[in-house]
A and B are shown apart, each in its own frame.
Chain A
Amino acid sequence: MTRPIRDPAPSKWGYRWQRWMLTPGVRTGLRVGVPMATVALVAGLWSLNDANRALLTDRVAQLTEAFHQRPQFMVSELSITGADETLADSVTKVANVTFPVSSFDLDLAGLRTRIAALDSVADARVRVGDAGALEIAVTPRVPVALWRTPEGLRMIDADGVFAGAVTSRSDRLDLPLIAGQGAQGHIAEALTLFRSAGPIAERMRGLVRVGDRRWDMVLDRDQRILLPADGPVSALDRVIALNEAQDVLDRDVAVVDMRVPQRPTLRLAQEAVIATRNASAAGRVQRMGQ
């Protein structure tokens, strides 16, 4: 006896349901959306409890701490390169790191900012190097001149940036002295002038910026060379040449005025004027007496 193969037709709603379940969007939703929603729901319900949340944060903090404190991340020594002893001391003081410390707890950017903010430091590089050493490479500022200000003597570097203070001129006789408002902005020009002073270098006491516009060169015996705003070096060269030829500066001259380059002007010292006047009067008496 044979029966027909059992082949039941789906009900209309069963058929629709199956077609709906085969729709790509629905399939993706079921495969991805439902598990994600379930996980989110469970996690949400669990974290509704305060104790659970505290437990979670504690646990996370604990694990983070344990990870940070692993020996691979510990920094135990400080090495400073490129600084002399006093600078290294001040860098160490500014860095203010208590060893051992985890490298996660080090604020390297902040450290670098603090060190670079030191007067005598031009730039600093800070990194955690091999073998747990905090390496600080310091580029110190090189002072090129002394700058006399109302507050006192300061050292400045080639960029005109404050690079430390000195108490008296005799501390740094090797550095030239400049003064006047705006002098720090024209260090390069001042240094050129110092270099081209040549034969009168021993007599020179410093440069004064006048009106933030031009330089006065001050020599000993209160002599001054007034240099123009444009081409001060060539004007100085002319004065030196004049001095070589006629020993102008050895005479009793108070001011050599080169402000108008076409018309160099000399101003004699007060005694010299008087002496000259007396001498010419004596000459006249002599001639009258003859």
Chain B
Amino acid sequence: MRDLYETQRAMRNVRKAAMQRGVIAILDVGTSKIACLVLRFDGPDRLGDNDGVGSLAGQSRFRVIGAATTRSRGVRFGEIDAMQETERAIRTAVQAAQKMAEVRVDHVIACFAGARPRSYGLDGSVEVAENIVTENDIGRVLAACDMPDFGDDRDVLHAQPVNFALDHRSGLGDPRGQMGQTLTTDLHLLTVDATAIRNLFFCIKRCDLELAGIASSAYVSGVSSLVEDEQELGAACIDMGGGSTSLSVFMKKHMIYSDAVRMGGDHVTGDISMGLQVPMQTAERIKTFYGGVVATGMDDREMIEIGGDTGDWERDRRTVSRAELIGIMRPRIEEILEEVRARLDAAGFEHLPSQQIVLTGGGSQIPGLDGLAAKILGQQVRLGRPLRVQGLPQAATGPAFSSSVGLALFAAHPQDEWWDFDVPADTYPARSLKRAVKWFKDNW
């Protein structure tokens, strides 16, 4: 726990240094693709204090100067599976992005989807030392949250204070400077498998890069594809990736829940490959060109040449109707969405004031998905695309890039985390001395 705190603080310092230098890379390690964006921080309010979010939702501070995508290798279910392969894929993406940016990047912020994220809601409460809440008190109240026993093999990825309450007033965004006796906080803790984080660390280190931050892909795609009202009133962002479908629930501009289903677009491709007896590449091509989830009468007549690569070009001219393809795809997608539904139900999503659901990620581009999702998840479903950011190439504006763009926004305007506040143990001797003095004053 303590070493993670130190690691996260070190990463935060690296991020600050990178912002000073003005160039930072964004790395989205996904199952189907690895995307790298190079950001240059030279906007007008770059050096201004973070007095709220800057202009254009904090985006005017940076510009995308390099972008590259490469086919992912060695990643399964959003976790690194074959390290050498992944390292090579990261090198490819970083090199291409650097080439486009014509600048060398040394610091990288990464995100990944898998590694079995698990959410915990914690609360802690302390007596305020001097009736006015200071930064110290916030550090103390965050440390006062009792840690659940999530196991040795898991690491904390996010620990975000989502709510503060002072005495009987709740829903405070920033209690600093306010008068009160008892400070209570709600902390959202997201843990993932420690090995996944360690593997990613190691991969990035082997590419001569320095990790300046790490984020959950579910969180950052929510940041980029949910509009402000949805984040405020309550919404779920479902990022349908290649290897895993991750979901994050937002409320009052904070992520309050996150989970992932270990199924994604690659499983759909696998189904097509098995069902039609074609290689994975062909199946992927058929899926992206002809895929869908709602069959109509027209689809029975639309025949697709599947072009099986069996070597017997003369005889192997198999065709399949689009309705058959949809028949293969739909059960798997329904399964994914139902799994998502189950996770949302487990999280108590139906108690939120607004139950908007936003589908994003590469998998959300299947035609007719919103109709199917509305049947399974509820009426308020829309397809989300990431926010537009300055300098992003047209090819990288699709929903498949929502986590990359969200990570860029996260880099520009990070959420306060537990490790941004000082450890209260550092100030403990001073406080105990003060308490001793107070005791003497009271008793003599």
Contacts and interface: CB of A to CB of B under 8 A. Distances in A.
B281 A2 contact: yes
A2 B282 contact: yes
Interface string B63-93: 0000000110100000000000000110110
Q: At the interface, is chain A mostly helix, strand, loop or mixed?
A: loop
Interface string B281-298: 110110000000000000
A22 B104 contact: yes
Contacts of B99: 18, 22
Given A2-B285, A19-B208, A10 B309 contact: no
B103 A22 contact: yes
A4 to B, nearest CB: 6
B98 A18 contact: yes
B89 A1 contact: no
A23 B207 contact: no
A24 interface: yes
A4 B71 contact: yes
A94 B104 CA distance: 72
Contacts of B94: 15
Nearest to A15: B91
B306 to A, nearest CB: 10
A16 interface: yes
A24 B98 CA distance: 12
B378 to A, nearest CB: 37
Nearest to B103: A22
B103 A3 contact: no
A9 interface: yes
Nearest to A22: B104
A220 interface: no
A245 interface: no
A4 B98 contact: no
Nearest to B99: A18
Contacts of A23: 104
Nearest to B209: A19
Interface residues of A, number: 17
B71 A7 contact: yes
Contacts of B309: 1
B102 interface: yes
Contacts of A5: 71
Contact of A7 (B70, B103, B208, B284): B70
Contacts of B104: 19, 22-24
Interface string B96-111: 0011001110000000
A23 B71 CA distance: 27
A18 B73 CA distance: 22
B307 interface: yes
Interface string A1-43: 1111101111010011011001110000000000000000000
B277 to A, nearest CB: 14
Contacts of A2: 281-282, 284-285, 307
Nearest to A1: B309
A16 B285 CA distance: 34
B307 A1 contact: yes
A9 B102 contact: no
A145 to B, nearest CB: 78
B95 interface: yes
Contact of B88 (A1, A9, A19): A9
Contacts of B208: 15-16, 19
A155 to B, nearest CB: 78
Nearest to B94: A15
A4 B94 CA distance: 20
A107 B9 CA distance: 74
Contacts of A9: 73, 88-89, 91-92
A10 B282 contact: no
A16 to B, nearest CB: 7
A7 B307 CA distance: 23
Nearest to A19: B104
Contacts of B281: 2-4
Given A15-B207, A16-B208, A22 B98 contact: yes
A19 B98 contact: yes
A36 to B, nearest CB: 22
Contacts of A4: 71, 281
B221 to A, nearest CB: 24
A195 to B, nearest CB: 80
A22 B92 CA distance: 15
A67 to B, nearest CB: 45
Given A2-B281, A7-B70, A16-B208, A22 B91 contact: no
Given A2-B282, A15-B207, A19-B98, A10 B307 contact: no
Contacts of B284: 2
Interface string B233-274: 000000000000000000000000000000000000000000
B305 to A, nearest CB: 11
Nearest to B308: A1
A255 to B, nearest CB: 95
B354 to A, nearest CB: 41
Nearest to A9: B88
A18 B103 CA distance: 10
Nearest to B310: A1
B266 to A, nearest CB: 14
Contacts of B88: 9
Given A4-B71, A18-B98, A10 B92 contact: yes
A23 B106 CA distance: 10
Contacts of A3: 281
A10 B91 contact: yes
- Which of A4, A12, A19 gathers most chain B CB within 10 Å? A19
B79 to A, nearest CB: 20
B92 A7 contact: yes
Contacts of B73: 9
- Which of A2, A7, A12, A16 gathers most chain B CB within 10 Å? A2
Nearest 7 pairs of A and B residues by beta carbon: A9-B88, A22-B104, A9-B92, A1-B309, A15-B91, A2-B285, A2-B281
26 contacts: A1-B282, A1-B307, A1-B309, A2-B281, A2-B284, A2-B285, A2-B307, A5-B71, A7-B70, A7-B71, A9-B73, A9-B88, A10-B91, A10-B92, A12-B91, A15-B91, A15-B94, A15-B207, A15-B208, A16-B208, A19-B95, A19-B98, A19-B208, A22-B102, A22-B103, A22-B104
Given A10-B91, A22-B102, A22-B103, 6 more contacts: A3-B281, A7-B71, A7-B92, A16-B208, A19-B98, A22-B104
Interface of B: 70-71, 73, 88-89, 91-92, 94-95, 98-99, 102-104, 207-208, 281-282, 284-285, 307, 309
Interface of A: 1-5, 7-10, 12, 15-16, 18-19, 22-24
